[in-house]
Structure 1
């Protein structure tokens, strides 16, 4: 394990769920060992390795298994099966006040935490001034912690964990508590220990925080690892999945192509629609080929439009041949038109395309296909938002 901070192998955590409290007793006393419970897999066959000095973000929806995973790594929970190998001393912030005695003062709890982490009293005395300075809670340090607000708890807990020089620091959502000044101070301190080679596991729902702070990300979904890799790529995939899930669950949206033909005596139709490629990088060329058929001898004022939407059905861009003053072939037959964006400025995500054919400046619809095709863009973390706009800074 030289060079490895954490190695997780086939880790599984199963909880027994009972419909009624008495079912637990029935199960324990049943002569034939009848089961009264259902197995819930909080983690299922999870394996990964984290190198020393890496900063890794752990992302996923509520209930995905993130907190269970870091609790097992920290030694708070035991796995049902599998193994966790940890190389170094861990300081963890799993939840506010975890391991604190509410009847003890802040000072007493500092020494208690030091003891739990394996530090002798004398060594903790050398760290006490740094911890007090970082916590910055004044004379409350001499009061029982049961009197503390959640913000004061966060300050003290974080101050202890980050100032005891851990080899591995695990932070589970605690930065969501506290004011902006405290959060800034905490991030700066974590940046400092990161530079000194401390391995950091950073559990957060803030995907932008993970992109900015981490070097790698692990996406957990329903107790299993969905993806491991570059923090920007994994973060974008996770965000994209949430948007797509929202789209699929929406009662107002359909999963398949939606025909919106408002003219029963169709004069023209979309025959086919294809993309040059469906996986792109930001600023790649996007090429769309549309085949359409005209049934009448000639259609005056015929136009074709293509619309781009994001996964939440927000309208991104919708050019058409009329607005672009491009005359398309309007006589009977099957025709092909190509649409090209030389450098697509959209940021990472999945996007959907609609295509329609119209007359009367787009007022009358002859044939319209919604969500006919999709494409996915990936990119490094270099900007935010949906579209990159050329810009300059001056001072």
Structure 2
């Protein structure tokens, strides 16, 4: 990775004047803001970071956190109110689906239009046209006006043009949120090839799994400010509590005048969870703590323990949860992931309960409930992380009560001869002619 950044953002802020009435905006224009009341909206606040050649950086943040504004400033579409941005190399950006496409032009005509915008001459576009059309794979629609395209077709053509210009910097703003699975897989393979070729990539997504899989590091924006920049998993852990607007459990302090609060934290000291085999001390825990997951046990059973290559057949996850206020509709959930953050499976008590006709049980303050998830999960040898949680669905939206993220390590030592993550129980034989 080059020591000199290809993108250098220094102290960038962006603010807008917000008027209560259009006449106030008009008066402000004519009087130099002497008349015309307004307030300042700060989309970005003193943001600084670098991106180097060959680095893929994910950008996380809730809606309205300033992600799109930041990308527009990096691309030169908007100018910062204060601060500077230095960009070295050719930039290809997919900021909004079909942005820059003329709706009345055909796909073919828009390819030439977009190519000329990024500095390619006609001969270069002609030389790359067949590759663009092949990657987009929209058939005869290449000669139809793009206003007739579906969102998936827009994505196909826009992404194909974006990568065909051989950029030094590729910027993707939720560009892969639409499209079929096969095309998304093709895009991810291409992104990997571009990365290996030294292309710097800025990738905005609400999918923490995509960020974890694709990115070397990540940035978290909240209310226009840069909260953290660095390790991908660490940034994701900071992002998740903010997504649900719940303060990190580490910053929550009991109120001495609140009897229930003191009761809550006295009980917390007696939790057995962190003393069980498999507990992962690097877990990230957050939520309101009006309920707490205080204990767990994991039981793995094989198909035939006496076999030379036993195969994992069942996993039983038992959890103990204490409640400190009334919760009319508690939902319990689990997610199993690889160590690099790829989700293998996730479910919750509501999904399973509706399928198996298991009624929801409300919980009162001071009660303790023991629950169990049984899974048929044939895993290959490797290390896996289990996240567990309980939320309150009694009111509007989901309120996380206790989320223990990557809290349990599950190690599978067999079967050693298989590759991948899932044991498909393969067989082989010759068929006689």
Q: TM-score, normalised by structure 1?
A: 0.69
Q: Which whole-Å CA distance do the structure 1 matches of 2:282 and 2:29 have between them?
A: 65
- Please say if 1:311 is aligned against 2:268: no
Kindly indicate whether residue 35 of structure 2 is the aligned counterpart of residue 34 of structure 1.
yes
CA distance in 1, matches of 2:267, 2:3: 60
Give 4+ residue runs of structure 1 displaced > 6 Å after superposition: 367-370
Q: CA deviation at 1:165?
A: 0.9
SS at match of 2:34: coil
Counterpart of 2:213 in structure 1 is 212
| Deviation at residue 271 of structure 1 after TM alignment | 11
Shift, 1:124, TM fit: 1.2
Larger radius of gyration: 1
2:387 is matched with which residue? 385
Task: State the SS of the aligned residue for 2:103.
Answer: coil
Structure 1 residue 385 displacement after superposition: 2.9
Structure 1 66/255 Cα, relative in aligned 2: closer, same or farther at 3 Å? farther
By how many angstroms is 1:119 displaced?
0.8
Q: What is the Cα deviation at residue 210 of structure 1? A: 0.5
- Structure 2 counterparts to residues 220-231 of structure 1, below 5 A: 220-231=221-232
Cα-to-partner distance string for 1:282-327 (whole Å, 9 max, x where unaligned): 73499xxxxxxxxxxxxxxxxxxxxx985265653338xxxxxxxx
- Kept in 1, the 8 Å contact 2:241–2:248? The answer is no
What is the rounded CA distance, in whole Å, between the counterparts of 1:80 and 1:68 in structure 2?
12
Cα gap change, 1:5 to 1:28, in 2 (>3 Å): same
Structure 2: which 5+ residue stretches go unaligned? 297-338, 341-364, 369-382, 389-407, 416-424, 426-433
Deviation at 1:32, TM superposition (A): 7.9
Residue 26 of structure 1 and its aligned partner are, at CA, apart by 2.0
Show the 5 A alignment for 1:150-169: 150-169=151-170
| Distance in 2, Cα, partners of 1:56 & 1:92 | 14
Note if 1:283 corresponds to 2:280: yes
State the Cα deviation string for residues 199-255 of structure 1 (Å, max 9, x = none).
00000111111011100101011111000001111111211343561799xxxx997
Measured in 2, the distance between the counterparts of 1:385 and 1:227 equals 23
- 1:245 alignment partner, SS class: coil
The 8 Å contact of residues 260 and 368 in structure 1, kept in 2 or not, is answered as no
C-alpha change, 1:138 and 1:5, in structure 2 (3 Å) is: same
Deviation at 1:6, TM superposition (A): 0.1
Alignment of 1:1-395 (within 5 A): 3-30=4-31, 33-243=34-244, 245=246, 256=255, 259-260=259-260, 283-284=280-281, 311=287, 315-318=292-295, 383=385, 385-386=387-388, 387-392=408-413, 394=415, 395=425
Per-residue deviation, 1:390: 3.1
Q: Distance in 2 between matches of 1:245 and 1:158?
A: 36
1:125–1:309 distance in 2 versus 1, CA, 3 Å = closer
Assess if the C-alpha contact under 8 Å between 2:9 and 2:84 holds in 1. Answer: yes
Contact 2:7 2:85 in 1 (8 A): yes
The Cα offsets for residues 241-273 of structure 1, whole Å up to 9 and x where unpaired, read as: 43561799xxxx997576349x9xxxxx96995
SS of 2:100 mapped into structure 1 = coil
Superposed CA RMSD: 3.7
Contact 2:3 2:52 in 1 (8 A): no
* Distance across 2 between alignment mates of 1:201 and 1:274: 45
- Give yes or no for contact 2:104–2:147 (8 Å, CA) kept in 1: yes
For residues 255 and 104 of structure 1, what CA distance do their matches in structure 2 show? 62
Structure 1 residues 285 and 169: alpha-carbon distance in aligned structure 2, compared to 1, 3 A threshold: closer
Aligned partners of 1:393, 1:107: CA distance in 2, in Å? Answer: 53
Q: Is the 8 A contact 1:259 1:368 kept in 2?
A: no
- Displacement of 1:97 in angstroms is 1.0
Rounded to whole Å, the distance in 1 between the matches of 2:156 and 2:32 is 53
Residues paired across the two proteins, number: 305
Deviates more, 1:29-38 or 1:106-115: 29-38
TM-score normalised by length of structure 2: 0.63
Contact preservation (8 Å) 2:58, 2:203 = yes
Deviations 1:1-50 (A, max 9, x none): 97311001111111111111111112233488134111101011111111
Cα deviation, residue 51, structure 1: 1.1
The whole-number CA distance in structure 2 between the counterparts of 1:34 and 1:91 is 41
